[in-house]
Chains A and B, each alone.
Chain A
Amino acid sequence: DVKVTQSSRYLVKRTGEKVFLECVQDMDHENMFWYRQDPGLGLRLIYFSYDVKMKEKGDIPEGYSVSREKKERFSLILESASTNQTSMYLCASRGEENEQFFGPGTRLTVL
């Protein structure tokens, strides 16, 4: 079974803090994704990566950056957290048949 893990299930941060969310997958997948999920808006793609050190912006990249130094690890960085970044953050990796496997999510609250 594919396993995608995320570093934290719950995080509380203050406005202006730098926040790191980490994601690790164990299936040697090339493609990894970061989404945020908000009520009524569904899943929105922030960034994705198709290889080590390669990244592409998704639909809502503003206020975020990413890092992929190793194939199995994809990190999302909030440079200066703001209250409108309070959300559920979901990492996923993509399998050979284009299906996505999600991590358990990180529920981030920015105060």
Chain B
Amino acid sequence: RKEVEQDPGPFNVPEGATVAFNCTYSNSASQSFFWYRQDCRKEPKLLMSVYSSGNEDGRFTAQLNRASQYISLLIRDSKLSDSATYLCVVTPYSGGYQKVTFGTGTKLQVIP
């Protein structure tokens, strides 16, 4: 089983739709979780951290389910500019160096 798994997509959704991505992880000791956004031929950029209590930033909501070992990203009212690849990132501890594991990404295409 891969350490971090994501559905590669693509997810093709109309503007204004709500879309959700999941990311499963295998290391139960994982403690830090992030979602990154990567545009075509650009570097990944931090979208948001994922906290145990869940967190929201505008149209974006991230949640963590430790029991089932997955994190999720919900995008409401999708915009054309949301089209990108979304990477989940998992690390085992919250301090010092730890092996950071990236998912291979889920591609989102928002259609007019």
Taking beta carbons and an 8 Å cutoff, which residues of A are in contact with B? 31, 33, 40-43, 45, 48, 50, 56, 90, 94, 97-105, 107
Bound Cα distance from A100 to B89, whole angstroms: 10
Q: Which of A56, A97, A101, A104 contacts B49 (CB 8 A)?
A: A97
Taking beta carbons and an 8 Å cutoff, which residues of B are in contact with A? 32, 34, 41-46, 49, 87, 89, 91, 94-95, 97-100, 102-105
Q: What are 20 sample pairs from A and B whose C-beta atoms fall under 8 A apart?
A: A40-B104, A41-B104, A42-B87, A42-B102, A45-B100, A50-B97, A56-B97, A90-B43, A90-B44, A97-B32, A98-B95, A98-B98, A99-B46, A99-B49, A100-B44, A100-B89, A100-B100, A102-B44, A104-B43, A105-B42
Q: Which of B42, B89, B102, B103 contacts A104 (CB 8 A)?
A: B42
Bound Cα distance from A40 to B98, whole angstroms: 24
Whether the Cβ atoms of A102 and B43 lie closer than 8 Å is: yes
Question: Given A48-B97, A99-B46, A103-B43: A43 and B102 within 8 A (CB)?
Answer: yes
